Each structure stands twice: as C-alpha cells, then as structure tokens.
C-alpha cells in the first residue's frame, strides 16, 4: 500500500502542508522540523509522486534528447550523462535519434512531441537556420554542437578549432610533421568536421609546415569502415603520413586497423589522434590518444538551460552570452538572453602517439 503525505504528517505530528514543504525543499522550514519530518519519511518509506508534482505545474516531467545516432558511442555516453543530470532535477529523458536527416531534425525541432515533453535538447547535423525560424511553441529548445544558427536558443559546444589545434600541437611535439586529416566534410563551413579541419590547417601553417589537400581524406560517414576506407585511399594514393588526426575515435580506430594490415606500426611509423574519448579507444591493442570533450559539463549545461527556461529564470552560466529579443516567453524565438555556452576539452595522451614506454 502506498504511503501518502497524510500518513507522513500523522507519523510526524505535523500538518500535511509542513510535510509538503519538506518534500519540496522549501527553505523556510526549520532544521528541527525538517529532521522530524524526514525521520517519518524514512520510517514509512514515503516516495513522492513526481508525475503528480509535474502535472500540478502543468508539465509532464519529461525532457527529450535527440541525437544523430544512438549507436555512436559518443552520443550514447552523452545520453547517459544527460539522463543522470536530468534525474537530479526530477526529470525523465525521452531519447530519440534523427539519423542526421534534415527532415527528421525539422520534425523533432518543431515539436511533434510537444504535448509529451517539457523541453528539447537537440544535436543537429543537417538542420538549417531557416528551419527554426517558424518554431512557434513554447517548449524550451537547447542546441548542441558547432553549427552556428544566430537564433535565440541556448547553444552548447566546445571550441573545435582550438581542440584540433591542440591535437596537432601534440603531434608536432612528438616529432611528426606529415600529418593527415581523416574525416573531412567541406560542404558546410560551420560543421564540426570543417572546424576541426580549420584547426588542423591553422596549426600546421603556424608551424611553417604545408597543409596540402593531398593529406586530407574525406569520409562518407563517421564510423569504423569510413576511417578504414579513407586510410586505405590515402595510402593507395602514394601518400605516407607520419601521423593522422581523425575527425572522431571511430574513424581513428578504423584507420589504425588498415595501418596494421599494411604493416605500419602505431605509433612508431604513424601516430594517431582521435576525437571524443569513447570507451573503445581506451581498451584496444594500442590505446588511442584523443581529444576528450567534457561530456558531463555539456550534459549539465544542457539540462540546466532547459530547467532555467522552464522556470523563466535563465541567468549567467559558464560561457559567453548572446542577447536575443525581448518580451517573449522563455524558449521561444525572440526570448531574452539566448546564450552561447562553452564546455571544456582536454587532450588525453595514450599509446597511439607516445607508445607504451
């Protein structure tokens, strides 16, 4: 039989209102009264009905996270972090994947589940600025990733150019000079692949080294086979780099497989750096040096942003702010204080660049 607020109130000898104040963590409850009620809660095993609590506020208690593909370990790990942070705010997370398709990203962003969710965290790939201009419902939207939309929605990202430069700087420091880039997509200037390519080129140029197109290997996707195919094409073209910087860890692992098949040692012959710091890179025969985005901070900023918008109290957070329009509900086009929020990253050195010694 479920335990009610009334049961707790009777056990503690207080009013139902006092129990409610304790359960909802209202500050004006005295420490002695809070301890008394908490003892009764623990003795009876009371658990608050979060669904009812959210419904009383006109909400569902559900946030949505939409990512390009849940099969990608980076997004799977990010989703786990978002779920953990959302639970701290008493929210459940509904997961969706868009396949990186524009039509699906539009459908998600325009609120096809608006009656089900209180807010949306979206990591788009193909979505364009004009796709969001007509968004007319008030469920807060937070954007993840490097696309720059110039819209009044909070946007959370890492500095991909700086991260790529950090990777190349490390490779230069360990004595490499012929550094290839695997995973380029040059059709969209604000995509992460383009920004990482820009960082690759900028760091090489600053070091006085060439950054020829012959050292750039595009990929059709971002998985192991794509990295393997790109590495094979590069070698077959007669180009032999002494280092590879890959768009992500999956491409890097695929490239390392081909290098091994061709009789090239990592890192002795070719050093390799990936991006994302997925679990797989830590347990291969040669562990992978990588750029590690702070996924926990990305998750925390994303959930915090949605919750603040729901409460109508977005304030300064880590990162830079951009100002939107005024006088409209939080989370809608024209809402105030749309923010550009930055999460950090770090280079994790492992065997693929520094060896096992």
**What is the set of domains in the chain, with CATH numbers?**
5-48 (1.10.260.40), 58-158+295-343 (3.40.50.2300), 160-293 (3.40.50.2300)
To the nearest whole number, what is the mean pLDDT of the chain? 86
Question: What is the edge-to-edge ordering of all strands in the sheet holding 345-348?
Answer: 216-218, 179-184, 243-246, 271-275, 289-293, 345-348
Q: Greater confidence, 282 or 318?
A: 282
What the block records as the tokens of 273 is 């750096």
The percent of residues in the chain predicted with pLDDT above 70, rounded, is 84
- Sign of CA pseudo-dihedral 160, 161, 165, 168: positive
Instruction: State pLDDT tens for residues 23-58.
Output: 776 767 888 888 998 898 888 887 766 555 544 555
The model's confidence at residue 330, banded by pLDDT at 50, 70 and 90, is: very low
Question: How do 119-122 and 92-97 pair as beta strands?
Answer: unpaired
Query: pLDDT value at position 19?
Result: 83
Instruction: State pLDDT tens for residues 218-270.
Output: 998 889 999 999 999 999 999 999 999 999 999 999 999 999 999 999 999 99
pLDDT at 140 over 60: yes
The model's confidence at residue 190, banded by pLDDT at 50, 70 and 90, is: low
Rounded average pLDDT over 262-288: 96
Rounded distance, CA 322 to CA 233, Å?
Answer: 43
pLDDT at 121 over 70: yes
Query: pLDDT value at position 331?
Result: 40
Rounded average pLDDT over 310-321: 57
- Say if residue 271 is exposed, middle or buried (CB neighbours under 10 Å; 0-12, 13-18, 19+): buried
Instruction: State pLDDT tens for residues 145-162.
Output: 877 777 889 999 999 999
Q: How many other CB atoms are found less than 10 A from the CB of residue 281?
A: 27
Q: Which of 59, 114, 116 is nearest to 89 (CA)?
A: 59
pTM: predicted TM-score of the whole model, two decimal places: 0.78
Rounded distance, CA 31 to CA 248, Å?
Answer: 51
């Amino acid at each position: 039989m479920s335990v009610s607020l009334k049961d707790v109130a009777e056990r503690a000898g207080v009013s139902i209102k006092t129990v409610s104040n304790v359960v909802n963590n209202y500050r004006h409850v005295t420490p002695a009264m809070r301890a008394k009620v908490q003892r009764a809660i623990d003795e009876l095993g009371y658990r608050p009905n979060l669904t009812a609590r959210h419904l009383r506020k006109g909400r569902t208690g559900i946030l949505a996270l939409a990512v390009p593909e849940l099969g990608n370990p980076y997004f799977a790990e990010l989703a786990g972090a978002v779920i953990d942070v959302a639970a701290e705010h008493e929210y459940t997370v509904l997961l969706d994947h868009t396949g990186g398709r524009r039509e699906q990203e539009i459908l998600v962003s325009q609120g096809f589940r608006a009656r089900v969710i209180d807010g949306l965290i979206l990591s788009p790939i193909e979505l364009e600025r004009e796709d969001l201009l007509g968004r007319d419902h008030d469920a807060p939207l937070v954007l993840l990733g490097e696309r720059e939309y110039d819209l009044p929605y909070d946007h959370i990202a890492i500095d991909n150019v700086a991260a790529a430069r950090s990777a190349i700087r490390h490779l230069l420091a360990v004595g490499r000079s012929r550094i290839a880039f695997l995973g380029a997509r040059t059709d969209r200037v604000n995509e992460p692949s383009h920004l990482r390519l820009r960082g690759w080129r900028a760091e090489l140029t600053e070091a006085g080294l060439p950054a020829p197109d012959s050292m750039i290997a595009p990929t059709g996707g971002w998985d192991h086979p794509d990295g393997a195919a790109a590495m094979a094409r590069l070698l077959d073209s007669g180009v032999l780099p002494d280092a590879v910087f890959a768009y992500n860890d999956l491409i890097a692992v695929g490239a390392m497989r081909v290098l091994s098949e061709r009789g090239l040692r990592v890192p002795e012959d070719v050093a390799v750096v990936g991006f994302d710091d997925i679990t797989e890179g830590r347990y291969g025969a040669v562990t992978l040096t990588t750029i590690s985005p702070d996924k926990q901070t990305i998750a925390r900023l994303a959930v915090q942003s949605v919750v603040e918008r729901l409460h109508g109290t977005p304030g300064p957070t880590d990162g830079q702010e951009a100002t939107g329009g005024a006088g409209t509900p939080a989370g809608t086009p024209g809402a105030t204080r749309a923010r550009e929020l930055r999460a950090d990253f770090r280079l994790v050195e492992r065997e693929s660049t520094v060896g096992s010694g």
